[in-house]
Amino acid sequence: MYPPKFEYYRAASVSEALALLAQHRGAKVLAGGHSLIPAMNIRLANPGVLIDIGKIDELKGISTRNGSVRIGALTTHATIAASSVVPQALSEAAGMIGDPQVRNRGTIGGNISNADPGSDLPTVLTALEAKIHITGSAGGRTLAASDFFIDLLMTALQEGEIVTAVEVIAPGAGHGSSYVKLAHPASRYAMVGAAAVVTLVGGTCTAAGVAVGGLTPCAKKAPSVEAALIGKALNADMLAAAAEVVLDDLGDDILEDIHAGVEYRKSMAKVFVDRALSAAVQRAQTHQM
């Protein structure tokens, strides 16, 4: 529990954070610290400089405007889990992260910037087609979640950039979403995570977003599953059939460990996509009434 030596700076504003980042190449940004600090303590991470953005108030909180929900990068998992304005899949997933201590410290921006393959939020944000707002010394940009998550622990963030907010669609009539996971028995990260969001109009699925994570190096959108849903009046058999085709969307790189091998995880992807879809559709039906 003794990290190597590092320099520590606390930024009071986003602009100060960017200036510090420009000044210290290779610095790591510290938010809630619940992935970075343990990694430093076991000397897996060895950043020479930490820039703490944890006190920047402008990056905190959830607001709604024009049918979208904006979640500041420093909003904690606990806040998101307790929110009634974010899509249910997102609050559900945030509530499944770690334990109360982790949820009280960990932030959405830190979580997605770290992009752990077992993390829950990237899967939900990918299904929701969330926008990731980024800023850097060269200015701001916005990426779709599916373009943001690139590979194992790898995002589209460039040197000197930070995530400022995540934007998702505000759930409206006929909208239902869900996140379910097969939790790792030791870490409780997702061995398989599945998120589904559907919109039903008159019983017909007009829009669907499905993503899986945990078993792939980063969250994966499941277009084959989505295609099997859109335009259809959904029933249980149809959802199960749609979930089956998730295998077409997983790619070749499937993770495994001593608790769950490749074949098991692939099969569980089908089971959990089915469960996520079923819950999402049920919620959408409730919201139609």
Partner 1 sequence: MGYVGKSVKRVEDPRFIQGHGKYVANIKLPGMAYAAIKRSPYAHAEIISINTEKAENLEGVVAIFTGRDLMEGTKLSGPCGALPCGFVPPNTKVPTRHPLAVDEVNHVGDGVAVVVAESAYIAYDALDLIEVDYKPLPAVVDAKAAAQEGAPLVHAEIANNTSFLWTLGDKEATKKAFAEADHVIELELINQRLIPNAIEPRAAVAQWDKFAGEMTLWTTSQNPHIIRLLLSGFTLGIPENKLRVVSPDVGGGFGSKIFHYPEEVIIPWLARALDRPVKWVASRSESFMTDSHGRDHITNCKLAVKSDGTFTGLWVSTWANMGAYLSTFAPLIPTALYITLFSGLYKIPAIWGETRGVITNTVPVDAYRGAGRPEASYQLERLVDLAARELGMDVVEIRRKNLIPENEFPYQTPVAMIYDSGNYQKLFDTLEELAGYQEMRKEQAKARQEGRLVGIGVSGCIEASAPGPSPVVTSLGSAIGLYESGIVRVHPTGQLSVFTGSHAHGQGHETTFAQVVADELGLPMEAIQIVHGDTDRIPFGTGTYGSRSAAIGASALVRSAEKIREKVTRIAAHQLEANFEDMVYDQDNGTIYVKGSPDKSKSFAEIAFTSYYAANLPPGIEPGLEATTYYDPSNFTFPNSAQIVQVEIDKHTGAVRIERFVAVDDVGKTINPMIVNGQIVGGIVQGVGQALWEHGVYDENGQLLSGSLMNYALPRADQFPMMETGRIETPSPHNPLGVKGAGEMGTIAATVTVANAVMDALAPLGIRHIDMPLTAEKIWQAIQSSQNGGAN
Q: Which spans of this chain sit near partner 1 (rule: CB under 8 A)?
A: 1-5, 42-43, 182, 184-187, 257-261, 264, 267-268, 271
Cβ 182 to partner 1 shortest distance, Å: 6
137 vs 187 by CB, closer to partner 1: 187
Cβ 251 to partner 1 shortest distance, Å: 21
Task: Count the residues in the chain.
Answer: 289
Cβ 1 to partner 1 shortest distance, Å: 6
Rounded Cα–Cα distance for residues 90 and 221 (Å): 16
SS3 63: strand
3-state secondary structure 118-171: CCCHHHHHHHCCCEEEEEECCEEEEEEHHHHEEECCEECCCCCCEEEEEEEECC
DSSP string for residues in 77-122:
HHHHHT-SSS-HHHHHHHHTSS-HHHHHH-BHHHHHHHT-TT-SHH
Cβ 84 to partner 1 shortest distance, Å: 24
3 vs 176 by CB, closer to partner 1: 3
Find out whether 218 and 152 touch, Cβ atoms under 8 Å. Answer: yes
77 vs 265 by CB, closer to partner 1: 265
59 vs 194 by CB, closer to partner 1: 194
Cβ 264 to partner 1 shortest distance, Å: 5
Cβ 201 to partner 1 shortest distance, Å: 30
Cβ 42 to partner 1 shortest distance, Å: 7
170 vs 240 by CB, closer to partner 1: 240
**Residue 215 CB neighbour total at 10 angstroms:** 27
24 vs 184 by CB, closer to partner 1: 184
Helix (H) / strand (E) element for 207: namely strand 204-213
How far CA 271 is from CA of 75, 126, 265, in Å, comes to 31, 19, 10
SS3 31: coil
209 vs 214 by CB, closer to partner 1: 214
- Ramachandran bin of 67, using left for φ above 0, alpha for ψ from -120 to 50, beta for the remaining angles: left
Cβ 3 to partner 1 shortest distance, Å: 8
Rounded Cα–Cα distance for residues 242 and 240 (Å): 5
139 vs 185 by CB, closer to partner 1: 185
